[in-house]
Amino acid sequence: MTIQIKSPEDIEKMRIAGRLAAEVLDFITPHVKPGVSTEALDRLCHDFMVKVQKAVPAPLNYAPPGYQPYPKSICTSINHQVCHGIPGEKQLKHGDIVNIDITVIKDGYHGDTSRMFCVGEPSIQARRLCEITYECMWLGIETVKAGAHLGDIGAAIQKHAESHGYSVVREFCGHGIGRKFHEEPQVLHYGRPGTGITLQSGMIFTIEPMINAGKPAIRELSDGWTIVTKDHSLSAQWEHTVLVTDTGHQVLTLSAGAPARPAPAS
């Protein structure tokens, strides 16, 4: 129940796992188009992880306490789906927004990252939600340095989301990550500055805000995994795996195709 400080050897392996997870997103990007089923995206990613990267898709058969084993290798969450959407026969259509969440295990270490994708040209409101959620994630990341507090991350995210009339999902959070998929600490995406544990160099955790266009309430579908907004409003999420350093942070899930960090607000 303590937060692990990663050794230099751990960190090198986490860098590799993180880069691989991001490269799966790069690989799948050209396939995210109207008419493709989320099952087809799952198969493409699965084969890329297993055959090309020689990595293990962490979601497949993942079964935390109280859950059925997750049946697929990636998560695909469309429109009002918040997270943990299970790939299936349903095809993406023009105007959808979809989160693809990739977690790979390489050499025993996990890398976890997700991005939003626009299918065709979604509404201005849908694209705006994706953009603001991306900014939320980065504003959270930018608070990270040794000596900062866990609550600083959530506070930055909540402030930005709510200033745009959006709401932050409370039930799911970022997490420590390493040899285990989900470790301590829990990284809330809301909160107050200066609260929570003090960050130390060598901690590694994810920041993965889920932001709803409407109310924050969610519910779980009968498949036991898929989370949707109760009011059916659109939801967006982005995720990076982040290392705490003495001077700040390093994002471990970057790749050639990762979207640029947003320009600083003026």
Interface residues with ligand MF3 (CB under 6 A)?
A: 59, 62, 70, 75, 84, 101, 103, 112, 206, 208, 225, 239
Residue number, nearest CB to ligand MF3? 59
We find the least distance from the C-beta atom of residue 70 to ligand MF3, in angstroms, to be 3
**58 vs 148, beta carbon nearer ligand MF3:** 58
We find the least distance from the C-beta atom of residue 206 to ligand MF3, in angstroms, to be 6
Binding at 70: pick from Co ion, ligand MF3, none (beta carbon under 5-8 Å per type): ligand MF3
Query: Cβ contacts of residue 164 below 8 Å, gap of 6+?
Result: 128, 132
We find the least distance from the C-beta atom of residue 20 to Co ion, in angstroms, to be 14
We find the least distance from the C-beta atom of residue 60 to ligand MF3, in angstroms, to be 8
**3 vs 146, beta carbon nearer ligand MF3:** 3
* Side-by-side strand order, sheet with 218-220: 81-83, 227-229, 218-220
We find the least distance from the C-beta atom of residue 104 to ligand MF3, in angstroms, to be 10
Binding at 217: pick from ligand MF3, Co ion, none (beta carbon under 5-8 Å per type): none
Query: Cβ contacts of residue 32 below 8 Å, gap of 6+?
Result: 41, 92, 98, 100, 117, 119
Do residues 82 and 235 touch, judged by C-beta distance below 8 A? yes
Closest CA to 208 of 255, 184, 240: 240
Binding at 202: pick from ligand MF3, Co ion, none (beta carbon under 5-8 Å per type): none
Closest CA to 138 of 25, 251, 245: 251
